[in-house]
Structures are given as structure tokens and as C-alpha cells.
């Protein structure tokens, strides 16, 4: 994951530490989403050359403390209970149940802040892979991985839109098998989207991605 591909977003937290899942804020910072406390906002904004944060993460019990700097409102994501949010506050763009996890925050802030949002975080890797198609089998390598897909290096040519069976092994989870579609080309590699992935496989990949990002 190259630094130039990461966003550089400043988020302010109006919520207690226990409103977040363990390591969520640490990993989000490594993905380009720096979360600071209100008292640290002026210094962080000055460091990034900003006049205002990009987004606020606010506990539903602290909405009165989430001020507005004037001008266009800073969007707010509410950390709340299971019933979500109600009301007509135009600043609120979404809600996440406490404790807010890495993947939930990532999906939502991507949708709110990015022109071409991703639904899941991705981690660089180099995993040996087994590819199968039409009775043929060959070896490749997974160069980056997310719950939704991967970047695949394959010695065999692959047509855009074609389907393959893809297998790779993750620490602690063992070998995973997924149905994959070749969605795009990033020369010389191929962007792969996983189809019909089971919840257990998605959970295993998500756990691997989170652990790997924490070590970056």
C-alpha cells in the first residue's frame, strides 16, 4: 500500500474510547483517516493546512458538543445504539452502532468523503495462489487482498470478465477457496472480484486484513 494512494483525511472524535472497537482508530490512521480529539484539532488541522475537519464521529449523547465552524456543515457520523438515528439534523450523514468497528467506519467514511469509494480496506501481501479454469490448474500470487477481491499475478493470460476458481492460504485460517471474476487489468496484473463468498471466508479475510494493517 503506497502512501500516495492513501487519502489524507482529518476526523474529529466526540466519543469515549470505548465507543470504538479495539485498534479501529489505529488502523484507520494507517489507511489515511486520522482521528483526533477536539482539543487536538487546531494543531492537527494546521499541520495538514486545513481550516476545518473533513468529518466528525459523534456519540449520540454528545451531539450538542459537536459545534459548527461556520460555512458548509462538517458531516457527522453518529455512534449510537441499535435503533440508529432520528431527527432532521442536516449535518448527520450516517450512523454506526457502538462499539464502532474498523470495517464499518471505513465503509461509511469512504462513501461520504471519497469520489471513488471502496467498501473494504485492502492490504498488500504476497500469497501463493492456485488458479483453476476449464480443467486446467496453475500457480499465481495474490499481491493485495480485501474481503471483496484481490490483485492477482498470473503467468497464464486471463480475459476480462472470465471466471476462475482461486485458492490461497491464510495464517490461522488455512486454505480458502473462492469463485473469482477478472474485473480489470492493472498491468501486468489482474484485478479480481470474489463472487458469492461465504460469511466464514469473508470473516477470515477480514481478520487477516485487520491484523496485517495493524502491523504496517
- 174-196 confidence digits (pLDDT tens): 999 999 999 988 888 999 999 98
Per-residue pLDDT band for 85 (boundaries 50, 70, 90) equals: confident
Higher pLDDT, 194 or 73: 194
Cα separation, 210 vs 22, in Å, equals: 11
Dump pLDDT digits (tens) for 108-153: 999 899 988 888 899 999 999 999 999 999 999 999 999 999 999 9
Enumerate the CATH 2.40.10.220 domain ranges in the chain, comma separated: 123-214
CATH class of the structural domain 3-113: alpha beta
Q: Rounded distance, CA 207 to CA 192, Å?
A: 19
| Cα separation values, 91 from 51, 66, 169, Å | 18, 10, 44
Please tell me the distance from the alpha carbon of residue 140 to that of residue 86, in angstroms, as a whole number. 49
Question: Given this model, what pLDDT does residue 70 score?
Answer: 66
Residue 1: its pLDDT value, please?
A: 45
Other Cβ atoms closer than 10 A to 5:
8
Question: CATH 3.40.50.2300 residue ranges in the chain?
Answer: 3-113
Residue 81, number of CB atoms within 10 A of its CB: 11
Of 49 and 1, more confident: 49
Q: Domain 123-214's class? A: mainly beta
Amino acid at each position: 500500500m503506497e502512501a500516495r494512494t492513501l487519502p489524507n483525511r482529518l476526523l474529529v472524535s466526540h466519543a469515549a474510547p470505548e465507543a470504538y472497537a479495539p485498534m479501529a482508530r489505529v488502523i484507520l490512521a494507517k489507511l489515511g483517516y486520522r482521528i483526533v480529539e477536539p482539543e487536538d484539532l487546531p494543531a492537527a488541522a494546521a499541520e495538514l493546512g486545513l481550516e476545518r475537519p473533513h468529518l466528525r464521529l459523534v456519540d449520540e449523547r454528545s451531539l450538542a458538543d459537536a459545534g459548527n465552524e461556520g460555512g458548509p456543515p462538517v458531516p457527522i457520523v453518529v455512534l449510537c445504539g441499535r435503533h440508529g438515528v432520528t431527527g432532521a439534523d442536516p449535518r448527520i450523514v450516517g450512523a454506526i452502532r457502538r462499539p464502532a468497528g474498523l470495517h464499518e467506519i471505513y465503509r461509511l467514511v469512504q462513501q461520504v468523503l471519497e469520489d471513488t469509494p471502496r467498501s473494504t480496506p485492502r492490504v498488500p501481501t504476497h500469497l501463493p495462489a492456485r488458479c483453476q479454469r476449464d480443467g486446467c490448474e496453475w500457480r499465481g500470487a495474490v499481491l493485495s487482498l480485501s474481503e471483496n477481491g484481490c490483485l492477482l499475478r498470473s503467468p497464464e493470460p486471463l480475459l476480462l470478465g472470465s471466471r476462475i476458481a482461486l485458492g490461497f492460504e491464510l495464517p490461522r485460517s488455512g486454505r480458502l477457496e473462492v469463485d473469482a471474476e477478472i474485473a480489470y487489468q492493472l498491468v501486468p496484473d489482474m484485478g479480481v472480484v470474489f463472487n458469492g463468498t461465504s460469511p466464514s471466508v469473508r470473516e477470515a479475510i477480514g481478520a487477516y486484513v485487520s491484523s496485517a494493517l495493524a502491523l504496517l
